[in-house]
Structure 1
Amino acid sequence: MFAYDRSISALGKHCLHAFSQVVPASLAAFYRINPHLQACDFQLQGMHPRMHSAYLNHYRHIDPLKPSRCMATGLPVVPLREGLARQDEKANGEYQQFLLRHQVVDVVEVIAHLDGIPVAGLSLLRGNNLGAFSNAELQRLIPLQGLLQLAIHGCTPAASTQLDQLTPRERQIALLLRDGVSNKELARLLDLGLPTVKTHLLNLFRKVGASNRTELVSMLFL
């Protein structure tokens, strides 16, 4: 994962400006994605602090475009309609009411990955004056997502040799284990069944040569 320093802060500012120039947006936000697949370290453009505070305190858990849901789509650019299609109607209704209260009619998420793991994202939100994102506009965001990934790589220190030997999913699990995540939390965050999580852990232990979580974290990160 990359450190959130001045270079990342500068990258966020440039991305907010560049993306909204190519595909106009009423509001925008750049953020880091932590090992728990949660957005953090937000940089806001045009968004009122009250809206952002309400989102963090009451709505982020039902956001159909939160990082874990975006990751599940396998898409680099994820429109709101894609996220809504993967969430139950009750949660969708509550979230859409939140958007409407702030005059937002559409949202698209652009996700940057590092070795298959989501590490940063950019939200573009549209008000009534701009209307929904067209398919042509969504297509224009795809090459920008590629540039964002290149920029993220440039801000990232070289990974350890042992981490390089792991698959993207194994690296993601290892990072979560480092943060003390339980098997049940792993299953929820990665949208996997507990038996599948246990299989991944056994394979990870075998590959690294560790016999338990503590030993694995020590061998990979200490």
Structure 2
Amino acid sequence: MGDALARQCLLACARAGGASLAALYRIDHQARPADFQLLGLATPMHQSYLERYQGSDPLHPRHCQNLAIDLVPLRLGQAAQAAGSRERYAGFLARHGICDVVEIFARQAGQAVLGLSLLRREAEGAFSAGELERLQGLQAMLALALPRLATHSASVGLTALTPRERELAELLRAGHGNKRLAQLLGIGLPTVKTHLINLYRKVGVANRTELVTALFL
């Protein structure tokens, strides 16, 4: 996703939606989010989401793909969740001071290809029914922006990685564990984990198996 254009779109959507926190992302053919553009979201929170809470997110594209609507409030997503997952994700949001979330999707040929998360802090309050109704206009704006964003988009492959990232990807392909990666790269284990998180996020995958599949298969 073209960074400058996506950033402009993200800022405009966040302002129009009355949210100080937001994320814009591409959705791949397996309904996985990738190429995140973040506004106001701290990196540790986002990394924690990717590592531990993505699977329990009721507004994850995979969970919303069968819905017939393109604007999904948090409470609607939660209504379809099992109690354990709902409580787990609600706890994650509460720890970071988030009281409400709305997910907006833009589609091509019926398939969601772009997602926008609007998050409200506790001080900002939850989205009202009137605000949710007005956000339908924002969904239309996102759909209009989609062709231009798609023009600047490309699936992340080896050529989009830095030399260090390509080196790490090749070592993962060879099946090395984290300790061996640290030895071969001459870095500490915490640094290896940070590199992996950043690489997963860049490629739009959740683990090393998905990474190797996306880059090499």
TM-score (norm 2): 0.66
Pairing 1:84-103 to 2, within 5 Å after superposition: 84-103=78-97
Question: Match for residue 174 of structure 1?
Answer: none
Contact 1:22 1:140 in 2 (8 A): no
Give the Cα–Cα distance (whole angstroms) in 2 for the partners of residues 155 and 24 of structure 1: 22
Kept after mapping to 1: 8 A contact 2:22/2:38: yes
Higher mean C-alpha displacement, 147-156 vs 19-28:
147-156
Q: Aligned ranges for residues 20-59 of structure 1 at < 5 Å?
A: 20-59=14-53
The 1:156–1:18 alpha-carbon spacing in structure 2 relative to 1, beyond 3 Å, is: closer
DSSP 3-state at the match of 2:41 = coil
Is 2:80 aligned against 1:80? no
Which consecutive residues of structure 1, in runs of 5 or more, have no partner in the other structure? 158-222
Q: Secondary structure at the match of 2:66?
A: helix
**Residue aligning to 2:104:** 110
Whether 1:152 aligns to 2:146 is yes
Alignment root-mean-square deviation, CA: 1.3
Structure 2 contact 71–136 (Cα < 8 Å) conserved: yes
Give the paired residue count.
151
Q: 2:162 corresponds to which residue?
A: none
Q: Post-superposition shift, 1:10?
A: 3.1
Unpaired stretches in structure 2, ≥5 consecutive residues: 152-217
Alignment pair present for 1:140 and 2:134: yes
Task: Say whether the 8 Å CA contact 2:17–2:138 is kept in structure 1.
Answer: no
Inter-partner Cα distance in structure 2 for 1:10 and 1:112:
19
1:153 Cα deviation after fit: 2.4
TM-score normalised to structure 1 length:
0.65
Q: 1:20 to 1:154 in 2, by over 3 A?
A: closer
Q: Is the 8 A contact 2:6 2:149 kept in 1?
A: no
Report sequence identity in percent. Answer: 44
Could you tell me whether the CA contact under 8 Å between 2:102 and 2:119 is conserved in 1? yes
For residues 101 and 74 of structure 2, the distance between their equivalents in structure 1, rounded to whole angstroms, comes to 5
The amino acid across from 1:49 in the alignment is T
1:148 positional shift: 1.3
Shift, 1:155, TM fit: 4.2
Report the Cα distance in structure 2 between the residues aligned to 1:50 and 1:154, rounded to whole angstroms: 31
